[in-house]
């Protein structure tokens, strides 16, 4: 039952981005993101993309920093992981 934050390592628009996920529920994730002021447009099927500039603030709010491997492992174990091929299907 945690909101997890991996390392910012995905470059886009001159910024490094990290992933924010819940290992409990999407409701928990959305509530946390709203509390942190993360816009809904940052949500991508099973995670929020967050800029490296928010890392310290997200950790202060309670996000647990984990490795990318640990984030994926726990997201899969929770049953919330949306596989890439499922993302590419119409209507998903």
Residues 6+ apart with CB under 8 A from 72: 81
Q: Is 9 helix (H, G, I), strand (E, B) or coil?
A: coil
Q: What is the pTM of this model?
A: 0.84
Residues 6+ apart with CB under 8 A from 34: none
User: Which tokens sit at 78?
Assistant: 């929770």
Per-residue pLDDT reduced to its tens digit, 32-80: 999 999 999 999 888 999 999 999 999 999 999 999 999 989 988 887 7
User: Which tokens sit at 75?
Assistant: 């997201």
User: Which tokens sit at 32?
Assistant: 């946390």
């Amino acid at each position: 039952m945690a909101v997890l934050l991996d390392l910012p390592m995905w470059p886009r628009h001159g910024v490094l981005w990290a992933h924010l996920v819940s290992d409990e529920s999407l409701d928990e994730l959305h509530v946390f993101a709203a509390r942190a002021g993360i816009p809904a447009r940052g949500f991508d099927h099973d995670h929020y993309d967050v800029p490296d500039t928010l890392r310290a603030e997200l950790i202060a709010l309670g996000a647990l920093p984990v490795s990318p491997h640990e984030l994926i492992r726990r997201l899969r174990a929770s049953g919330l992981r949306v596989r890439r091929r499922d993302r590419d299907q119409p209507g998903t």
